[in-house]
Structure 1
């Protein structure tokens, strides 16, 4: 008997996709905005992905669902869409942030037999165990070592038929932009494009900086938002914020992982450290993650102006970007002190600043600013 070929997805899948799409649109309205065209297209693709993922369990043989790679400029709603979809999807799922993912991987390799490469594989297995889909937020690659982890993750996910949903500020071709290493990462970039549907979210507004009319203020990153960008950091300015420059005797040497870091103060809940000491050496994101678990308030002083960045300081600015990522993600209060006004909306001479600085500038825009003229006006008003 001849079998009539299917002309489209089964009705149940179509109904599931419609339900997921309506749920995401409802979440947007409840948050005070409507999905703009590129967000709507991404939501449609997520809804179709969710329907395929939940429907494949009944299919024999088990057919893999194509993964999704959502990318675009900062503040366009990529993470918001992922979170809304994640909350609505009924599946075995796990959500990880880029930095937390690598903390798990690097942490998982300690104490394991790495002589034959099984330590990395066991760490990747632990992340993928018991899930049908892994959500991966803020995906970026700047280090060839991290690139090797990513390659292993993609290969293992494909073997296990675990689907991925990725958000990134980078198109796949722009990952690992360092020209010294980019060519070595090209096979992984091709693998990403082979196994993932690439969807760009490219609306004209950075909603983190300029919320749409009627949008309810975000309730996330409350502690982070309470921080300040301070210049020039005069004693009176700092004192009004409850900050007092540490004395030399309060200095300490901390070793969160393998690298010692000289700090100016490390009270039970406050870390005070200079920009150069934190970002200018060999510290890594693993160090920042450990310190984030120890201190809920950070003060970074002697922050140079990004407009003065040069090629020699580029690695320090990349570490600074990683610091802000970690503190934002873990909702930690951050005070930045610079002797001159700190403007992060710059590209830097010769493009030596990391591409991630656009995302960091968007996040730092959540912090209010403290200037001496404004502080003097407040004092005069209070005394009049």
Structure 2
């Protein structure tokens, strides 16, 4: 009997070509072609994936170099990472920046903090059983967060676990606050040492300008079905199936330890004021828990960003975190404000969050309902409804 011939083992080049072709196929299926910087990043991801595959097959003991993808908002970093993640055959884990810190804090609370190893044990739990860690929306604005990030990177290097990171910041721009930046320089040096830095710098924010055939429909489908509404007249809301809840429906919810007064909380809808949600002691952990329970959010009485001093800097930062969480968790969002809600503003010299460009890009996915002073011949209010 003629023995069966096994196909020769695939080479790293074959694996890389297959992964790259898969990402290009995902793009074509979504109706666009990778632009040059996206394709360059896809090629680096494919080569990285080939190294991971060779290591899994015991053909190499070398740890693949981590990848750090960065660039302006809306250039497709997360989309490309997710396409690659779906096609990589490995024990992998994907975490968003905010979810990482929720897991970290929940882990340290479950461990005896007196042992002095709570943070390390929590990081170990995140990395256990993982061959590749994917980290989306990597940024550092707080020196405390920077310490946690440094511990994660050090532990991943010790355990020979490579990372794939996306960020709006080049490594040298992390923790930009001049009061604290020098404290983070050793970690920045470690990032540059252990990661290949790849810039995605295409000319367009495709969330804002999704020209046919030139870019993906960025953003989650449910999230982008939401709307920005001003000033929030009953007619505007009614057309969207929204009706302001009476005060009798107000209640208190406690997603973690912080109670929040909300105006309504149906099984699938959360209606809450900006003041109650963002101007207290709420944390990103609260927003993540609420996003797990409510798939439609209405935030009303949102102040105009043009009047930034109408809310404190911490309140605007919490609002920024809310948008990040709801976008990442694909939750429908309605924002209602008495004045125009235009997020395309300069941030220097005011209290708006430093990541306003990313928030503006994400909110540009939402349709707009604006009441104009002019009335039509029927005497009905004239509205603009536009999405990008």
Instruction: Give the aligned partner of residue 369 of structure 2.
Output: 370
Secondary structure of the 2:201 match is coil
> Mean Cα displacement is larger for which, 244-253 or 270-279?
244-253
After TM superposition, the structure 1 = structure 2 runs for residues 79-118 of structure 1, keeping only pairs within 5 Å, are: 79-118=78-117
Residue pair 2:34, 2:215 contacting (<8 A) in 1 also: no
Instruction: Give the aligned partner of residue 174 of structure 2.
Output: 175
After TM superposition, the structure 1 = structure 2 runs for residues 166-245 of structure 1, keeping only pairs within 5 Å, are: 166-214=165-213, 218=217, 221-245=220-244
After TM superposition, give the deviation of residue 336 of structure 1 in Å.
0.6
Residue pair 2:37, 2:201 contacting (<8 A) in 1 also: yes
Name stretches of at least 5 consecutive residues in structure 1 with no aligned partner. Answer: 1-9
Secondary structure of the 1:245 match is coil
What CA deviation, in whole Å up to 9, does each residue of 1:201-250 have, x standing for no partner?
Answer: 00001111211323687496232122111111122222222222233333
After TM superposition, give the deviation of residue 263 of structure 1 in Å.
2.1
Residue pair 2:33, 2:214 contacting (<8 A) in 1 also: no
| Root mean square deviation, CA, Å | 2.6
User: Whose helix proportion is higher, 1 or 2?
Assistant: 1
Distance 1:180 1:280 in 2: 25
What CA deviation, in whole Å up to 9, does each residue of 1:308-338 have, x standing for no partner?
Answer: 2249722211111110111111111111111
Distance 1:61 1:297 in 2: 48
The aligned length equals 373
After TM superposition, the structure 1 = structure 2 runs for residues 309-348 of structure 1, keeping only pairs within 5 Å, are: 309-310=308-309, 313-348=312-347
Distance 1:259 1:28 in 2: 42
What CA deviation, in whole Å up to 9, does each residue of 1:71-90 have, x standing for no partner?
Answer: 00111011111112112222
TM-score (norm 1): 0.89
TM-score (norm 2): 0.88
After TM superposition, give the deviation of residue 303 of structure 1 in Å.
1.0
Name stretches of at least 5 consecutive residues in structure 2 with no aligned partner. Answer: 1-8, 382-388
After TM superposition, give the deviation of residue 101 of structure 1 in Å.
1.9
Residue pair 1:128, 1:134 contacting (<8 A) in 2 also: yes
Secondary structure of the 1:157 match is helix
Secondary structure of the 2:69 match is strand
Distance 1:237 1:112 in 2: 49
Assess, with a 3 A threshold, how the Cα gap between structure 1 residues 216 and 68 changes in structure 2: closer, same or farther: closer
Residue pair 2:33, 2:215 contacting (<8 A) in 1 also: no
Assess, with a 3 A threshold, how the Cα gap between structure 1 residues 215 and 41 changes in structure 2: closer, same or farther: closer
Distance 1:78 1:374 in 2: 41
After TM superposition, give the deviation of residue 152 of structure 1 in Å.
1.3
Distance 1:379 1:100 in 2: 50
Residue pair 2:303, 2:311 contacting (<8 A) in 1 also: no
After TM superposition, give the deviation of residue 187 of structure 1 in Å.
1.8
Residue pair 1:307, 1:349 contacting (<8 A) in 2 also: no
Residue pair 2:79, 2:218 contacting (<8 A) in 1 also: no
After TM superposition, give the deviation of residue 369 of structure 1 in Å.
1.0
